[in-house]
Structure 1
Amino acid sequence: MGDDAPVIVIPTNYGRIEEFNDKGDWIEYTERLDHYFEANEINNADKKRAILLSACGQRTYKLIRTLCAPTKPKDKTFKDIVDLVKTHQHPKPSSIVERCRFNSRVRHPDESVSQFVAELRSLSEHCDYKDTLDHMLRDRLVCGIKDDRIQRRLLAETDLTFKRAMDISTAMEMAAKNAQDIQASGILQNSVNKVTKGKPRSNYSQNREHEQSDCYRCGGNHKAAECRFRDAKCHICQKKGHIAKKCRNRDDRNPQFQRSNANSGSRFYKKQAHFVEQDASENSGSESENEVYSVFNLGYSCDAYKVDIQVNNKIIIMEIDTGASVSIMSEETYKEFESKFKLEPTSVKLRTYLGDSIPVLGRATVNVTYGKENNKLPLFVVKRKGPNLLGRDWISKIQLNWKEIFAVHVLKDQPGLEETLSTYNDVFKDELGAIKGVKAKIYVDENATPKYFKARPLPYALKEKVELELEGLEKRGQISRVEFSEWAAPIVPIVKENGSIRICGDYKITVNRVSKLDNYPIPKTEDLYATLAGGEEYTKLDLAQAYQQIELRRILNNTPQ
C-alpha cells in the first residue's frame, strides 16, 4: 500500500453497562452510566437516552413507559427519565426522621471509629445539614464514641474540628490496640513462675489469668469501656471510674486512709456475707504465721446458720462461714470467759475488703468439743464486735451434724396456744365461715335494664372440677340454685397452684356497669406507716376466699343476691 492509504479507526467502548436489577440502587446505576458516558466521550443527550432505554432491561423499560404515560419515553430527555425513576424508587425521606436517626446513633462495641464515622456520613445524606454537616459529625462523634478515654481527650480540646476529632480518635484507638498487643506478647515471652506450696499451676493458666484480667477498673475479664463499675466511686481516692480494689492510691500504711476507713467502718460492716481468705500476693515469708487474710465483713448478720460449740469448757455460738479460711472470735466473746486462755502474739494480718487492717489481739490453741469429738484447734481473737466465725480450718476437723443444723424445729406446748385455739375453734375450722355483723350492699340504678349472659363453654379438662366446686359452694350455703333470673353473669374458673378451682363471676359486663360506686378514699401508705409508728406487735388477718364469706343484702327485687 502507498503512503496515501486511508487510516481505519476502530471505535472501542470502555466498560460495559448491564441491565438494571429491580433490587439494586437506581442512583448507583445512573452514576455508573455517567462514568460510562464520560469514558466513551458520549455527550449527545439523545444518544444518552437511547443507551439508557436499550440497556436498562425489559422490566425497567416497562416501568419507565408507565411513569412517562401518556407520552413516550423517547419524547422525554435523559434527565427527565432518570428523575422519574429516582422519585419512584427513592422518595425523599423526612429530614426530621433522618436527623433523629443520626442523633441517636452510637458506636457499637465491635465497631471501629472509621466504621462509625462512615455510618454517620451515610445517615446524614438526607438530614439536610448543608454547611453545618462537619459540626454535626463532630458532635455526634464526641457524644457517641462510647469510650471514656477518647471522649475525655476530645472534650479537653479547644476549637475542636471534625477532622481534628477524627484524627485524635483513630490515633488513640490504634495506640490502645498496639499497646495491648505489645503487652500480650511481653507477658507470653517474659512470664515468671512463682514457686509455692500446694497444688501446682500451669504456665498456661497463669498466662491466661494475665491476659484476661485487662480491666483497670475492677480487674475483671472484660474491656474497661464495658465495665459495670465505670461510674462507681472509689472509697479510697473518692474518684469515679474504678473501685478500691484497683485504686492506684491505695496505701494500707497511710494513717489518713486508715482513719477514714475506721470512721466509715459501720457502713461497710452491714453486709450479710463474711469472707476470710488468704491474700497470697502479700505473703512475706514461707512460714504459716507470715500470712495476710482479707476479711470482707465482721458485722452482724441475720438468717445465718449457727452452731453451739464448746470452747475451753464454755459453750459459745459460732456462725458457720465456708468462705472464711480461719476461725475468729470477737473480743466481746473473749471477755466472757472467766478463765482467760493465753493469747500468743501472731504476725497474721486481717484486712477488710477495702484493705483496712483489723487489729488481731492474738492467737490461741483451744480445746474444742462438739458432740463426741475433741480437738485442739487454732483460734484468732480480733478487736471487733460481731459474730464468731467458724471457718474452714475448723470445719475440716469437726464432723458437723448438718441434719440438725438445717432442721426446721416446730414449736410445741407453747403456753396459751392450745387455749386460744380451743376458745376460737370456729375461726380455725377447715370450712369457710361468714363475717358476722356486716353485709355488703350493691346499689343498682332503679331504671337499669337487667343483663343476662349465657354460660361460656368450658374446657373438657375443667368441667368435672368446676362442677365439684359448684356443688361444694352450694352445700356450704354460699350460693343457691334459682329457676329464673333477670340477671346472669358467666363464671370464670381460676386454676390455683395446687390444681384446685376457684369460681369467679364476670360481673364487669352485668352489675358493675349499672352499680353506683362507693367512693371510699383509700388510705395512703404514708398514713398507714404513721399510724403504726411506735407499735411493737402487729396482727395480720387473712380470710380464706374472703369474697365468699361476705353476705349480700338484697336491695331490689331484680338485683342478684
Structure 2
Amino acid sequence: MIRALDTAPPPHSGSDMDDNHYVVHVVHTIDGRRLPTCQVLLQGLPVPTLVDTGASINLTAAEGYQRLSKPPPLKPTRVQAYAFGNARPLEMAGVFTAEVAHENTTVLAKIYMSTEGSVFLLGCQTAQEVNLVHFAFSIHASDLEDLVKEFDSLFKGFGCLKGPPLKLHIDDSVAPVALRHRQVAFHLRPKVEQELQLLEKAGIIERVSGPTPWVSPIVVTRKPKQPEAVRICVYPIR
C-alpha cells in the first residue's frame, strides 16, 4: 500500500511537480504468500504486475524500465517513497509516462522508477482505469426508521416458526427434573399474570391442567425501556 503524507521534501529544480512523500508497503516479492498479481502490457511488453488498491502511485524497478524496447524519457522527481517501517526513502531514479494496457483498455499512466525492488506495482487509480479493480459504494444509507417502514410487518407482534413443528432432540437417559416455583413479589404478580395471558394469547405458551415431567422456575424482571412492563424468563438451572 502507498499512502501520501503531509510533509513535503525540499524543492528540486527541474523535477516534476509532485512533491509528496509516500509509504510503500510492498517493494520485494514475498515467497509463499499469495499476492494479487496479474499481467499487463507496459509499452506493449507483458509485465507481471502486483495490484495494490491502497497505492497512490505506480512504481517499477530499474530492471523493468530497462527491459522496455523503447523506454520513455525519464524525468527527475521530487517524490520520496518509503518502504513500510523504514525511515530511509527508496532511491528514486525518476518518473516517466507510459502506456498501460489490460485486455481492451489502454491508458497513459505516470510511473515512478526506483533502483530498489523487483516488482511492477500498479496503483489504485491506474488499476481502476484499466478495469482491473472495481469499487462498489453505497449510494443510500438507510436509517432505522427507513428499515422499519420498509419491513413494517416484521416489527409487529411475535415472529413464529412457520412450517412443520420443530422437534427437540432430548437425551432419554437424563431424568426429568421438576423444580420448585420461585416466589414472585406481590407488587409484580398482576403484571406477571397479565404477561402470561399475553404470551398464551400469542401462542407462545400453552396452559396445562396436569403435571409435566419438566418444570423450571421463572425469573421476572422489569423492562428497562418499559418500567411498567415485565419480562418473564425461564431459569433451567438443572
TM-score, structure 1 as length reference: 0.24
Give the number of the structure with larger relative contact order, counting CA–CA contacts within 8 Å between residues 6 or more apart: 2
Which structure shows the bigger proportion of residues in strand conformation? 2
